[in-house]
Amino acid sequence: MMLESLLVGALLVGGYFLLHATYLKLPRCKSTAKLHGKTAIVTGANTGIGKTTATDLARRGARVILACRDRRRAEAAVQEIIQETGNSQVIFMQLDLASLQSVRSFADSFLRSESRLDLLINNAGLMDSGKTEDGFGMIFGVNHLGHFLLTALLLERLKASGLSRVVTVGSKAYKMGKVDFVCLAAHRDLALGSSYFHASMMYCHSKLCNILFTYELAKRLQGTDVTCYSLHPGAIKTEIGRHASFWWKLLLKPIISVFFVDVESGAQTTLHCALEPGIEHLSGHFFTQCAPLLNIESKARDDAAARKLWELSESFCGLA
């Protein structure tokens, strides 16, 4: 019996490592680009994929702005990145994407203090119910609207900096998403409901918004040196579900432990979109596993919906 138990255990452990070495193994960014003299902004860079992305960019020599809400955690991340990379050009700037005024203040401060912007990485995201400071649904406000306004306010600096890129972290969860414009207009939110299930669905809706935003942005950037990309990072172990209830965490923990991979793997497609040469003709595309996804669903390439979302977002942000 003991021998059989050890054999079963060995098979399970071996199967686990085989799964991670094959099916769950994600491609790595192959770019050897150096970024000395370049400036990058990474939102939500104090933890998870964002921190890993910022660390890689700093290691390549970039001046990296950690755009984060939590000052204490962000300043700790700055020191860790500087220590790890030896690059002292890593700084924290306050940004709360749940406040349009904070987004404007961040953009104003950045434009006053920084002469160029080469990479804007719209990485931050959450899956939390509630309302933003401006009365929008929290998930819609942070995952889409805050990044929309941030990008809009920084576009001229991106254009003036030569070849530059906007990279927005989306998700294949967009497949379960939809954009209900009636609900958005009436309630300033993507859907109604406050349970974790409702938050999960609104997260899917927000990821569709990310992809439609990038699709429309690419059209508006034609004729400039700025390109943009959205992406699916993979199933990654991050803190995005930290606000879930105890029972949801209990249900999801074993699935995440077995089938989700580390944040370093999760940052690779972001880095590919930010750094890989020769992909400018793919501006507006959705990437996964360091490659464009060619069979993306039609709702993510809906010209009318992309334009309507852009115009409604302009109105919400006071840009129209």
The CA distances from residue 85 to 61, 136, 263, in Å, are 9, 38, 17
- Measured CA to CA, the distance from residue 240 to residue 173 in angstroms comes to 14
Cα-only R_g, the chain: 20
CATH of the domain at 294: 3.40.50.720
Assigned domain for 171 exists = yes
Amino acid 285 reads H
Which residue reads 């160029």 in tokens?
Answer: 116
Is 229 among the catalytic positions? no
pLDDT average, residue stretch 16-34: 68
What are 79-90's pLDDT values in tens digits? 999 999 999 999
Percent of the chain whose predicted confidence (pLDDT) is above 90: 79
Q: Can you give the length of the chain in residues?
A: 320
Contact 211, 204 (CB under 8 A): no
Contact 111, 258 (CB under 8 A): no
Assigned domain for 27 exists = no
The pLDDT confidence band at residue 20, using thresholds 50, 70 and 90, is very low
Domain that holds residue 137: 33-317
Q: What pLDDT does residue 258 have?
A: 44
Report field, pTM of the whole predicted structure over 0.75:
yes
Assigned domain for 10 exists = no
The pLDDT confidence band at residue 256, using thresholds 50, 70 and 90, is very low
What are 240-250's pLDDT values in tens digits? 445 545 544 45
Assigned domain for 63 exists = yes
Q: In what order do the strands lie in the sheet with 119-122?
A: 90-94, 63-68, 39-43, 119-122, 164-169, 226-232, 286-288, 291-292
The CA distances from residue 132 to 100, 146, 200, in Å, are 9, 10, 17
pLDDT average, residue stretch 86-107: 98
- Measured CA to CA, the distance from residue 198 to residue 130 in angstroms comes to 11
- Measured CA to CA, the distance from residue 280 to residue 163 in angstroms comes to 10
The more confident residue out of 63 and 2 is 63
Assigned domain for 214 exists = yes
Q: What pLDDT does residue 320 have?
A: 78
- Measured CA to CA, the distance from residue 265 to residue 26 in angstroms comes to 6
CB 9: neighbour CB atoms within 10 A? 10
The pLDDT confidence band at residue 149, using thresholds 50, 70 and 90, is very high
Assigned domain for 26 exists = no
Assigned domain for 297 exists = yes
What are 33-70's pLDDT values in tens digits? 999 999 999 999 999 999 999 999 999 999 999 999 99
Q: What pLDDT does residue 241 have?
A: 47
Number of domains in the chain: 1
pLDDT average, residue stretch 149-175: 98
Amino acid 218 reads A
Assigned domain for 20 exists = no
- Measured CA to CA, the distance from residue 230 to residue 207 in angstroms comes to 10
The more confident residue out of 23 and 55 is 55
The pLDDT confidence band at residue 235, using thresholds 50, 70 and 90, is low
Contact 244, 301 (CB under 8 A): no
Q: Which of 174, 196, 203, 215 is catalytic?
A: 203
pLDDT average, residue stretch 138-152: 98
What's the gap between Cα 180 and its chain centre? 22
